[in-house]
Amino acid sequence: MNNMIPLILGMAAVTYVPRLLPFLFLSNKRIHKRLDAFLKCIPAVAIGALIIPGVFTATPDMPMAALSGMIFTLIAGLWRGGIIIPVLGSVAVTYLVLFCAA
Amino acid sequence: MNAFKAGIPIFIGYVPAAIAFGILAKGCSITLMECFLFSAAVFAGASQFIALNLLMTGMGPAGIILTTLLVNFRHFLMSAYLSTRIDKFAKKYLFLIAFGVTDEVFSVLSFQKGQLSKSFILIVQFAAYSAWVSGSMAGFILGGFLPELLTKSMGVALYSLLLAIILPEVKKSFKILLLVIASGLLNTILIKLDFLPNGWTIIVCILVISFAGSFFITQNSHQEESL
């Protein structure tokens, strides 16, 4: 496994270029209404696929632990909103469930 | 939402993943410098883990680089969305901003109201980047120095973050809820069917569900109001 540098640079390039190209092509452009409607759906769609089904195996030995944390996020987020308390609380709940089960 | 508050959950979520990367990298007999370069130059979590696995199987650089392109291509779609949201002052920094488009950074930025300023974007990205690079180094040098139960539970932070971001939108709009659930269902089915390369189930979800959704989105949808 000698000389990883070309591999790392190659990986960096193929990661960076797709992240960059849309900024170069779409910024400052008037976007067709249809494309705009498509782009507007991307955040919610991406989040759906990033959470499900990954969350069900977030704590592989005990899926209920992660799910308990997520239920805390759901309740705290719907009740008061915000980010910090729903997230930190969720980590704490997950920890407690794992701790009690251990 | 303030940029620091948005950055903290990403930081907490990235640290355990980065530590795991550092530990694994050391196990693959990679040097500390190479481990640093991986995280500092590539800055893409899932693909770095996959690259280590492929290295262990003896795959050559060309195959690993091609896999990385496929795995990370979803960020092309995320950047396409973000490019419509950055303000004119941020445009000068787009070479820097583009570097930091990860799943979680994208998620936090996309539900921020109004146009995105360069300081907001760069602060969130710096939180993510510093966690990723320093965590990788810490994992390499110190190994599993955090208690196992803690790293396991910290892994949930990224999912909680995504849920906490989307909840206020779901509350306001039934359509958003439909998009999230439809996408999660399609992603689950695609992963179960197991015929797409890693990273492409989410690309198919974005293309299919966003295309379907674009027929239903109305002029007064959530982000339109704030632009």
For residue B198, pLDDT over 80 is answered with no
Average pLDDT over residues B29-44: 95
CB–CB contacts below 8 A, A to B: 290
Confidence (pLDDT) at B80: 95
From chain A, pick out residues whose CB is under 8 angstroms from the CB of B48.
Answer: 11
Query: Residue A48 in contact with residue B180, Cβ under 8 Å?
Result: yes
Domain count, chain A: 1
Confidence (pLDDT) at B221: 47
Query: Residue B128 in contact with residue B14, Cβ under 8 Å?
Result: yes
Query: Residue B221 in contact with residue A40, Cβ under 8 Å?
Result: yes
Query: Residue B223 in contact with residue B114, Cβ under 8 Å?
Result: no
Query: Residue B25 in contact with residue B35, Cβ under 8 Å?
Result: yes
Query: Residue A14 in contact with residue B68, Cβ under 8 Å?
Result: yes
For residue B220, pLDDT over 60 is answered with no
Confidence (pLDDT) at B218: 56
Label residue B17 exposed, middle or buried (CB < 10 Å: 0-12, 13-18, 19+): buried
User: How far is B60 from B63, CA to CA, in rounded Å?
Assistant: 6
| CB interface of B with A, residues 108-167, below 8 Å | 110-111, 149-150, 152-157, 159-167
Angle between helices B61-72 and B45-57 (to 10 degrees): 150
From chain B, pick out residues whose CB is under 8 angstroms from the CB of A87.
Answer: 8-9, 12, 157, 160-161, 164
Q: How many alpha carbons fall within 13 Å on the CB side of residue B109? A: 33
To the nearest whole number, what is the mean pLDDT of chain B?
90
From chain A, pick out residues whose CB is under 8 angstroms from the CB of B45.
Answer: none
For residue B104, pLDDT over 90 is answered with yes
Average pLDDT over residues B37-55: 93
Rounded to a whole number of angstroms, the CA Rg of chain B reads: 18
pLDDT digits (tens, 9 = 90+) for A16-33: 999 999 999 887 677 788
Q: Could you tell me the pLDDT band of residue A2, with boundaries at 50, 70 and 90? A: low
State the residue range of the domain holding A33: 5-101
User: Nearest chain B Cα to A9, which residue?
Assistant: B41
Distance from CA of B25 to the nearest CA of A (A): 12
Distance from CA of A32 to the nearest CA of B (A): 12
CB contact under 8 A, B41 and A9: yes
Q: How many alpha carbons fall within 13 Å on the CB side of residue B139? A: 26
On the question of a cis peptide bond just before residue A43, with omega within 30 degrees of 0, the verdict is no
Average pLDDT over residues B206-224: 75
CB contact under 8 A, B202 and A47: no
Q: Tell me the domain boundaries of chain B.
A: 3-156, 173-227
ipTM above 0.85, yes or no: yes
Interface test with B, best of A15, A36, A61, A99 (most B CBs within 10 A): A15
B117 phi and psi angles, rounded to 5 deg: -90, 160
**What residue has token string 């410098």?**
B33
User: How far is A86 from A83, CA to CA, in rounded Å?
Assistant: 6
For residue A34, pLDDT over 90 is answered with no
**What residue has token string 């960096």?**
A12
Which residues have CB under 8 Å from B195's CB, separation 6+? Answer: none
pLDDT digits (tens, 9 = 90+) for B110-163: 999 899 999 999 999 999 999 999 999 999 999 877 888 888 888 898 899 899
